[in-house]
Amino acid sequence: MNTLGKILTLTTFGESHGPAMGGVLDGVPAGVAIDLDGLQRFVDRRRPGQHTGASKRDEKDRVEVLSGIWQGKTLGTPIGFLIRNTDARSADYEEMARCYRPNHADYTWDVKYGIRDPRGGGRASARETVARVVAGGIAMQALATLGITVTARIEQVGNRSGLDDKEIERLIAEAASKGDTLGGIISCTVKGVPAGLGEPTFGKLHAQLAAAMMSIPSVHGFEYGDGFDMASKCGSEVMDAFVMQDDGSIGTVTNHSGGIQGGISNGEDITMRIAFKPVPTLMRDVPAVDCDGNDVTLHPRGRHDACVLPRALPIVESMAALVMLDNYLIKKTNVL
């Protein structure tokens, strides 16, 4: 399951401390103008070392496009790309190769495959998401030509909400100084979505978005529209009444549904919230077991984020963009 999408497909490859991360994005229509400098700036938002409490791994994350784009436009053929790993320190993970870290994928990958790459978490590392951001940046530019935009923001850090950037940095710095970590919530809004995107029954748009978001490392929850809050309301309180708008289109007075009804977009803004758990690597001694089941004390090393939220913003935007563009292309095949 290393491939996402139906018509627009992304296959990613690579491990955290391997030679490179990369991907193949197929299905992008021919003739879409791609600003490669703008794409690099989008990918740079995910780079480590730019925020308080972020990993100090010094990866430049330079995007190398191998195919599918010529003279600034897509060819309609697979877009292959690489992001080389240049600052891996595998020695930091020698101890972790012999034991299972709490809340990590070490144990479950060993059980499933009987082998794992312990260096930086291997393919289970969030390093893999750099390939998603490259593909998502391309999808964002394609969506922009259709008037569709995707924007994510940090809504909550730990149990605090309504924070500005300085307050967010301060909270993360405090956690990092104690060797601890923080989770939080990112909200994401997709504007300019035409009605009619999404598939019935097993391909509902919100289900596709949920699957995409839940595939991001550290994500533990997803809701769209009013989400779980709807469970405590009466139907009369969350009804989105239809009205005829000034431009002659049909819209809704409110948007409790988050822009999706019956699994298909209704033309309103698509809104969603994504919950991230605290980063599992604590920079302090923690209890663990080794590969033989013996109790051990793990002394974590390496360079890790105290909170992933600032770097996760372009990842969330990318996953939403890939799903939205895929569904736009699917709709194009459904009608003449």
Provide the phi-psi class of 49: left if phi over 0, else alpha when psi is between -120 and 50, else beta.
left
| Strand pairing class (295-298; 20-26) | unpaired
The 3 state secondary structure assigned to the chain is: CCEECCCCEEEEECCCCCCEEEEEEECCCCCCECCHHHHHHHHHCCCCCCCCCCCCCCCCCCEEECCCEECCEECCCCEEEEEECCCCCHHHHCCHHHEECCCCCHHHHHHHHCCCCCHHHHHHCHHHHHHHHHHHHHHHHHHHCCCCEEEEEEEEECCEECCCHHHHHHHHHHHHHCCCCCCEEEEEEEECCCCCCCCCHHHCHHHHHHHHHHCCCCEEEEEECCHHHHHHCCHHHCCCCEEECCCCCEEECCCCCCCEECCEECCCCEEEEEEECCCCCCCCCEEEEECCCCEEEECCCCCCCCCCHHHHHHHHHHHHHHHHHHHHHHHHHHCC
Dmax (CA) of the chain:
69
- Residues 116 and 109: beta-carbon distance below 8 Å: yes
Q: How far apart are CA 191 and CA 148, in angstroms?
A: 6
**Core vs surface per residue 239-264: b (16+ CB within 10 A) or e:** ebeeeeeeeeeebbeebbbbbbbebb
**Domains along the sequence of the chain with CATH:** 3-334 (3.60.150.10)
| Angstrom distances, CA of residue 93 to CA of 57, 96, 310 | 14, 5, 25
Q: Given this model, what pLDDT does residue 104 score?
A: 87
Which residues pair with residue 51 across a beta bridge?
A: none
Q: Given this model, what pLDDT does residue 101 score?
A: 84
Q: Given this model, what pLDDT does residue 92 score?
A: 65
pTM as predicted: 0.93
- Written as six digits, the tokens of 271 are 């809104």
pLDDT in tens, the chain (336 residues): 999 999 999 999 999 888 999 999 999 999 999 999 999 999 999 987 666 655 555 678 999 999 999 999 999 999 999 999 987 666 666 777 788 888 888 899 899 999 888 877 878 889 999 999 999 999 999 999 999 999 999 999 999 999 999 999 999 999 999 999 999 999 999 999 999 999 989 999 999 999 999 999 999 999 999 999 999 999 999 999 999 999 999 999 999 999 999 999 999 999 999 999 998 888 888 888 888 888 988 877 666 789 999 999 999 999 999 999 999 999 998 765
- Residues 83 and 29: beta-carbon distance below 8 Å: no
End-to-end CA distance of the chain: 32
Q: Given this model, what pLDDT does residue 52 score?
A: 65
- Residues 256 and 232: beta-carbon distance below 8 Å: no
C-alpha atoms less than 13 angstroms from C-alpha of 169 in its C-beta half-sphere: 7
Q: Given this model, what pLDDT does residue 11 score?
A: 98
Backbone angles phi, psi at 92, to 5 degrees: -65, -15
Q: How far apart are CA 222 and CA 214, in angstroms?
A: 7
- Residues 250 and 242: beta-carbon distance below 8 Å: yes
